[in-house]
């Protein structure tokens, strides 16, 4: 059994897969459930092409949910990530393994601000694979309907565009700005969720930007609105502003992964990091810096202390000061997790 190719220029009708897919020569369409429900041995040895990795942590056909507090830097982060994927350059601690064509949909930012940011992120304008920018503000400026994720007609049209342009990764920035009800309840989200899952059949990956809220029971920061948005996500990423954050600190955040389908051997790829965007956007000299987050540093210090390492050796190993090791040791002692 081989991967099924989408046919160019065909508007989606997910109820009729035989109309929207072009099978490989050795592919036989299923005629009943007996053809698609397999015994264990049949399923175990089923031959399918392996999904390629776009980024170390993102595979083809993935659905990624990226959420953070208002003003935390979600758009800067996502646009920079898209530019890195299109240009084949390293982003943060991760390597781009396969540059692909991208689409960035922004539903709330003014067009001049989107121009400023995109120009600052890619000052030279060079790309390996092209990417497209879809501004909700520009569409209304041209007296064209605003993007509407809840509209089946709009979903068909944007899918048709992505197929024609051979786009393999797109960003939705953000759910709140292009849907009125979907973030609020599971019923409104259900058809959108099904559609996002179906995009995988076209080898299209989706990265969704969303605002952060708090879980009513635990009080822990999580995506705002219905939790159903996380159910089919392959990767969930939270951007947390530092404690006592002030505007003069600029764009900086702790990045943590709240859900992943990576292998256990790949967990090192998704440890927490602290990101900072440095430079002047108007001059186009922006640069991301990153380092293990304080949460990760504290965890590593605790682990090495439990193994009997000295403060000096820990400082050298983690490339931090001895005073920082002492500070963390005191914090751990206060929490009952280490000796004073």
What tens digit of pLDDT does each residue of 78-128 get? 999 999 999 999 999 999 999 999 999 999 999 999 999 999 999 888 899
Contact 272, 255 (CB under 8 A): yes
- Give the β-pairing of 235-240 and 102-106: unpaired
pLDDT band at 214 (very low <50, low <70, confident <90, very high): low
Banded model confidence at residue 181, pLDDT cuts 50, 70, 90: confident
> Which helix (H) or strand (E) covers residue 331, if one does?
helix 322-334
| Residues whose CB is less than 8 angstroms from the CB of residue 38 and which lie 6 or more positions away in sequence, other chains included | 46
The answer, yes or no, to whether residue 216 has pLDDT greater than 50, is no
CATH number of 53-292: 3.40.50.300
Q: Strand, helix or coil at 215?
A: coil
Residue 253 pLDDT grade (very low, low, confident, very high; cuts 50, 70, 90): very high
pLDDT class of 213 with cuts at 50, 70, 90: low
Percentage of the residues of the chain whose pLDDT score is greater than 90: 49
Structure confidence at residue 76 as a pLDDT band (50, 70, 90): very high
Q: What distance in Å separates the CA atoms of residue 4 and residue 6, rounded to the nearest whole number? A: 7
Mean pLDDT of 39-67: 91
pTM as predicted: 0.79
Q: Within 71-185, where are the H helices?
A: 74-87, 111-121, 136-141, 152-165, 175-178
- Predicted pLDDT of residue 317: 79
Give the residue, 187 or 243, on which the prediction is more confident: 187
Examine the pLDDT at 287 and tell me if it is beyond 80. Answer: yes
**185 pLDDT above the threshold of 90:** no
Q: Average model confidence (pLDDT) for the chain?
A: 84
Contacts of 51 (CB under 8 A, 6+ apart): 59, 60, 61
Residue 226 binned pLDDT confidence (cut-offs 50, 70, 90): low
Q: Once rounded to an integer, what is the mean pLDDT over residues 189-207?
A: 93
Mean pLDDT, residues 262-277 = 91
Do the Cβ atoms of 174 and 239 come closer than 8 Å?
Answer: no
Q: Give the model's confidence band at 8: pLDDT under 50 very low, under 70 low, under 90 confident, else very high.
A: very low
Higher pLDDT, 166 or 332: 166
**CA atoms 179, 176, 85, 297: torsion sign:** negative
pLDDT score for 16: 35
Asked if 159 and 192 touch (Cβ cutoff 8 Å), the reply is no
**pLDDT confidence of residue 136:** 95
CA 149, 155, 157, 163 torsion-angle sign: positive
Q: Which long-range contacts (CB under 8 A, 24 or more apart) does 225-230 make?
A: 225/175, 225/183, 225/184, 225/185, 226/183, 226/184, 226/185, 226/186, 226/189, 228/186, 228/189, 228/190, 228/193, 229/65, 229/175, 229/183, 229/189, 229/193, 230/65, 230/259
Instruction: Assess contact for 170 and 101: CB atoms under 8 A.
Output: no
What does the block give as tokens for 83? 């530019």
Q: What is the pLDDT of residue 2?
A: 30
User: Which of 162-176, 218-232, 312-326 shows the lowest per-residue confidence on average (mean pLDDT)?
Assistant: 218-232
**CA 289 centroid distance within chain:** 19
pLDDT band at residue 26 using 50, 70 and 90 as cut-offs: low
- What is the mean pLDDT of the segment spanning 19-31? 56
pLDDT-derived band at 340 (thresholds 50, 70, 90) equals: low
Band the pLDDT of 36: cuts 50, 70, 90: confident
Q: Is the pLDDT of residue 70 over 60?
A: yes
More confident residue, 25 or 155: 155
Interatomic CA distance for residues 258 and 256, integer angstroms: 6
State the DSSP code for 4. Answer: P
Range of weakest confidence among 26-30, 40-44, 229-233: 26-30
């Amino acid at each position: 059994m081989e991967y099924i190719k989408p046919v160019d220029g065909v508007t989606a009708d997910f109820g009729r897969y035989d109309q929207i897919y072009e099978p490989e020569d050795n592919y036989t369409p299923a005629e009943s459930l007996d053809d698609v429900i397999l015994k264990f041995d049949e399923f175990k040895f089923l031959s399918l092409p392996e999904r390629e990795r776009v980024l170390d942590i993102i595979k083809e056909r993935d659905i990624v949910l990226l959420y953070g507090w208002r003003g935390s830097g979600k758009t800067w982060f996502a646009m920079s990530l898209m530019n890195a994927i299109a240009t084949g350059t390293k982003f943060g601690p991760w390597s781009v393994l396969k540059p692909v064509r991208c689409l960035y949909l922004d539903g709330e930012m003014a067009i001049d601000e989107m121009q400023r940011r995109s120009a600052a992120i890619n000052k030279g304008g060079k790309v390996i694979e092209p990417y497209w920018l879809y501004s909700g503000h520009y569409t209304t400026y041209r007296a064209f309907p605003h993007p509407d994720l809840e509209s089946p007609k709009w979903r068909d049209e944007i899918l048709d565009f992505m197929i024609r342009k051979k786009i393999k990764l797109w960003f939705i920035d953000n759910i709140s700005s292009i849907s009125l009800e979907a973030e609020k309840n599971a019923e409104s989200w259900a058809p959108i969720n099904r559609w996002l899952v179906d995009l995988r059949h076209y080898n299209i990956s989706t990265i969704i930007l969303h605002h952060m809220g708090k879980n009513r029971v635990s009080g822990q920061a999580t995506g705002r609105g219905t939790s159903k948005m996380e159910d089919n996500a392959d990767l969930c990423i939270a951007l947390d502003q530092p404690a006592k954050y002030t505007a003069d600190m600029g764009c900086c955040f702790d990045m943590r992964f709240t859900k992943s389908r990576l292998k256990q051997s790949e967990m090192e790829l998704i440890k927490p990091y602290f990101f900072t965007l440095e430079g002047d956007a108007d001059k186009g000299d922006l640069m991301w810096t990153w380092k293990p987050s304080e949460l990760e540093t504290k965890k590593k210090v605790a682990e090495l202390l439990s193994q009997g390492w000295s403060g000096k050796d820990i400082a050298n190993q983690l490339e931090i000061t001895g005073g920082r090791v002492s500070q963390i040791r005191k914090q751990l002692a206060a929490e009952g997790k280490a000796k004073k």
